[in-house]
C-alpha cells in the first residue's frame, strides 16, 4: 500500500487538463502513430464516467457515428492525450450515466448548465 503511494508520487506528472465532469461534452485531441507518421485526431462526445484516482484515472467518452454509438476510454495521464476542450457543460445527477446508452432522439439530450456572472 505504501509502495503504491511512493510510485504514484514519483510518476505524478501533473497534466493540466481542464476540470470537466460527467455530462459535459468534450473534444479529446489524441495522437495516433501510423508507421513513422504521427497525427492528431479529435474525438467529440459526452463524458459518461470518470473513474480511478491518481495515475490510474480514466474517463469514458461516447459519441454517435453514423447512427452507431462509439465509446472510448482515455487515461487522464496518457501521453497520447494532447488536450481536452470543453464544448458544453452538462447538468446530470449521477456519477455514471450509463442510462444514456439506451436513449435516442430528443431524450438523448443533456440539460446545459447555465453560468451567471456574479
Structural domains of the chain in order of their starting residue, each with its CATH number? 3-102 (2.30.30.790)
Q: pLDDT at position 28, please?
A: 93
The whole-angstrom separation of Cα 50 and Cα 48 is 7
Beta-bridge mates of residue 62: 46, 71
Contact between 76 and 15 under an 8 Å Cβ cutoff? The reply is: yes
Tens-digit pLDDT string for the chain (118 aa): 577 777 666 666 656 788 888 888 899 999 998 889 999 999 999 999 999 888 888 999 998 888 888 999 999 888 888 889 988 888 888 888 888 888 777 777 788 777 766 6
How far CA 91 is from CA of 1, 60, 69, 109, in Å, comes to: 36, 17, 21, 10
Q: pLDDT at position 1, please?
A: 59
pTM (2 d.p.): 0.75
Residue 6 host element (H or E): helix 2-11
The whole-angstrom separation of Cα 20 and Cα 24 is 7
Amino acid at each position: 500500500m505504501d509502495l503504491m503511494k511512493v510510485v504514484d508520487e514519483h510518476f505524478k506528472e501533473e497534466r493540466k487538463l481542464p476540470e470537466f465532469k460527467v455530462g459535459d461534452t468534450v473534444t479529446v485531441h489524441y495522437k495516433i502513430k501510423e508507421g513513422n507518421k504521427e497525427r492528431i485526431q479529435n474525438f467529440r462526445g459526452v463524458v459518461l464516467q470518470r473513474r480511478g484516482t491518481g495515475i490510474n484515472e480514466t474517463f469514458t467518452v461516447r459519441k454517435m457515428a453514423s447512427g452507431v454509438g462509439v465509446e472510448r476510454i482515455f487515461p487522464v495521464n496518457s501521453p497520447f492525450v494532447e488536450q481536452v476542450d470543453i464544448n458544453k457543460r452538462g447538468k446530470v445527477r449521477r456519477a455514471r450515466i450509463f442510462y444514456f446508452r439506451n436513449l435516442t432522439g430528443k431524450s438523448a439530450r443533456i440539460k446545459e448548465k447555465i453560468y451567471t456572472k456574479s
